[in-house]
Structure 1
């Protein structure tokens, strides 16, 4: 069917009318949740526990697509499992202390099944805007067949998280480099890099682990360390460093706990600055609280750096056909470059609201623990920079906040139906 309009006496194609005619509109009784990762699942489960229905919209074809499609094979949770559980359901007892990627995905699938959470997959949210006139959110999506659907809801929960889009830095000469350049989102294992010289850009947990994986596959990795970084042992005094830190914070101020962590790290790991890993001026917990920058929990990479199996390099200045020039003037040849440069929020690209979320970084303007609630029925979960613990806190607060509003709406709807 052709959609036409009359312009100056002539009938011409009317694309706006055609788009409106092809847009399906659906009224959602409860909240719409954008994102079917751990954050979205946690929010849906907490709402269901309070008898509040919800609808999850997910752009991928599965839950936890970052874990299933964009995580490397050797990935494990960096923290012990008791700190990574979603609300209302523990990990199976037979899971290891640090669950594997496959373990975690299995747990998330069981979680969705247990709470009968059924996301609508292959729905990319392109716009979400609050309609001031009717007092509802209009959430517009496109699907796999390019169909447009508008979901109308009273509450909107943003659960797309801090890791929605890859951060890809631009270096001078990138187009000239003959080797491969890939983000860690497409890195699976170091098997295909065997025998090659590989530069890993980024010294967070992912960059460190990718270097270790490359070593295990007979590659020759070098690691770009542009900024200062805290490297801590994964275990201290027979327990997890993270768990020990959380326990100490119940009794001591952050700075004293930081002093203890740094003292233990010095005893166990030595002076990391000798290997080009300079520590920031403030302690790891204080830095995490102020900037969200997570310390590296070492799982063996430091030993490979110490023995020279992994080289540490300064920041990249430019790329040439076969080589990389660094800011200190050194030039080295590489066969491949892996960008362990992290991810970012994509909220500003689709949420037509600028009060709750910053347009600069796509994160809530209010710092933790106050960034979970905005105006007009807008909420966020999974943007705390505190991992799955922060996600669980947000999900519980959101469900607690929406429950009385939902029950009130049910009472009002019954009143109107009686009339």
Structure 2
């Protein structure tokens, strides 16, 4: 089964009742340009605000945190305790649960943006960002659209292409900008519903249905749990090994325990301890079809970026057989059939691809300063590399460390402090120049 990225719909010629116009403009902005109004972009903007540095945030959707707002299922909660998910300068409200719901988190983010006066320019899709070496400036092109009534009842769609110009560019568009949907042979013959997890909201409408969930990460596991609780019959397709850990050990967060142990012990030893306790709590996952990788959960996270699954209830349904584990999908065989790589075939009413997302940075960033790989991920560095967030020519990346919200917050603090220092130096130079000019008159 080959992986394929599902990108934006380019669209066709459009309805005859609509006509398209375009205009172009250029805009020199004060302070840095921040691409993305998710948690990473908000964290950078808030920190710049505290440094009294102006900024411009460009966001392609119509609101902050588009992923959390529009592409997550209803029952989603933060998988880590709230103390590990706070953005810089603002704690979660005391009345929030230890693991906030997605609605709690969105309320927190909206309050955060309001508190630090972060007002993104929404509906701006960045199509190109290039460094102008001659002018020592970043030129960022963004497209926005608006519709107005026209003569004869036809709607006129005006597309505005604006070039934003600044000495600094912060890439905060995230590791989860575009959905990834595998290419599966025979998909066009499948008569049931096929969807990506980004459009799944609840298992309620799947009651009584046989549903194949492709992918065994945190989202795939939790959707299987949700389907079970709504009376569906979920099957989870597992392609490779996966580490399943209890969300809590000895009454404390597994992640929190791991972070404390890493202060004193090497990562391989911490992995051994985590797996020992996981086996005591969960039992042997391989007996139920979930083979563990050779590398430990923390080590594989460092090497590949793949997070272990923190169980929130699905494991008990797997052990009871209510969630059935099946092999990797080989092809669709007919109106409702799916063939697996071991040759078995089964019939399903629906298929959900819980196959994740990817970065879209390579589509628009033309001068990446060797900060990104060809597929838009952060280039690997040593954990001790304190400059992983900074590139040449005033380029920064935030939210690509693979360390979740905690890592994004840390990089936001560093990037904003660096920009603030450069901004203040420019302001001081401008003031000194103005004094000299005034004295010479």
Match of 1:231 in 2: 244
Deviations 1:220-247 (A, max 9, x none): 1000111000000000011010001111
Structure 1: gaps spanning 5 or more residues: 1-17
Match of 2:430 in 1: 413
Question: In the alignment, is the contact (CA less than 8 A) between 1:348 and 1:357 conserved in 2?
Answer: no
The SS at the match of 1:74 is coil
Deviations 1:280-305 (A, max 9, x none): 11111111111111000001101101
Q: Distance in 1 between matches of 2:111 and 2:97?
A: 17
Match of 2:108 in 1: 107
TM-fit CA distance, 1:270? 0.3
Q: Distance in 1 between matches of 2:206 and 2:240?
A: 26
Deviations 1:247-284 (A, max 9, x none): 11112111111111001000000000001100011111
Match of 1:221 in 2: 234
The SS at the match of 2:402 is coil
Alignment root-mean-square deviation, CA = 1.2
TM-fit CA distance, 1:354? 4.0
Match of 2:399 in 1: 382
Match of 1:307 in 2: 320
Deviations 1:173-198 (A, max 9, x none): 01111111100111110111111100
Match of 2:93 in 1: 92
Is residue 2:408 matched to residue 1:391? yes
Is residue 2:48 matched to residue 1:47? yes
Question: In the alignment, is the contact (CA less than 8 A) between 2:31 and 2:56 conserved in 1?
Answer: yes
Q: Distance in 2 between matches of 1:281 and 1:359?
A: 25
Structure 1 residues 79, 86: closer, same or farther in 2, change over 3 A?
same
Question: In the alignment, is the contact (CA less than 8 A) between 1:161 and 1:345 conserved in 2?
Answer: yes
Q: Distance in 2 between matches of 1:167 and 1:246?
A: 30
Normalising by structure 2, report the TM-score.
Answer: 0.89
Match of 1:181 in 2: 194
TM-fit CA distance, 1:36? 0.2
Is residue 2:205 matched to residue 1:192? yes
Is residue 2:225 matched to residue 1:212? yes
Question: In the alignment, is the contact (CA less than 8 A) between 1:356 and 1:366 conserved in 2?
Answer: no
The SS at the match of 1:144 is strand
Question: In the alignment, is the contact (CA less than 8 A) between 1:33 and 1:55 conserved in 2?
Answer: yes
The SS at the match of 1:130 is strand
Aligned residues: 400
Match of 1:6 in 2: none
Q: Distance in 1 between matches of 2:311 and 2:84?
A: 18
Q: Distance in 2 between matches of 1:358 and 1:242?
A: 27
Is residue 2:49 matched to residue 1:35? no
Match of 1:78 in 2: 79
Match of 1:361 in 2: 375
More moved, 356-365 vs 338-347? 356-365
Q: Distance in 2 between matches of 1:88 and 1:297?
A: 28
Match of 2:285 in 1: 272
Q: Distance in 2 between matches of 1:257 and 1:251?
A: 9
Structure 2: gaps spanning 5 or more residues: 1-20, 147-158
The SS at the match of 1:26 is strand
Question: In the alignment, is the contact (CA less than 8 A) between 2:369 and 2:395 conserved in 1?
Answer: no
Question: In the alignment, is the contact (CA less than 8 A) between 1:356 and 1:364 conserved in 2?
Answer: no
More moved, 399-408 vs 262-271? 399-408
Q: Distance in 2 between matches of 1:404 and 1:154?
A: 13
TM-fit CA distance, 1:415? 3.8
Is residue 2:366 matched to residue 1:352? yes
Q: Distance in 2 between matches of 1:148 and 1:62?
A: 20
Q: Distance in 2 between matches of 1:86 and 1:181?
A: 36
TM-fit CA distance, 1:364? 2.5
Match of 1:341 among 355, 378, 387: 355
Deviations 1:149-187 (A, max 9, x none): 110111000000000000110000011111111001111
Q: Distance in 2 between matches of 1:128 and 1:251?
A: 43
Normalising by structure 1, report the TM-score.
Answer: 0.93
Question: In the alignment, is the contact (CA less than 8 A) between 1:30 and 1:406 conserved in 2?
Answer: yes
Question: In the alignment, is the contact (CA less than 8 A) between 1:190 and 1:219 conserved in 2?
Answer: yes
TM-fit CA distance, 1:413? 2.4
Match of 1:9 in 2: none
Q: Distance in 2 between matches of 1:28 and 1:260?
A: 52
Residues 288-299 of structure 1: matches in 2 within 5 Å?
Answer: 288-299=301-312
Match of 1:372 in 2: 389
Question: In the alignment, is the contact (CA less than 8 A) between 1:201 and 1:223 conserved in 2?
Answer: yes
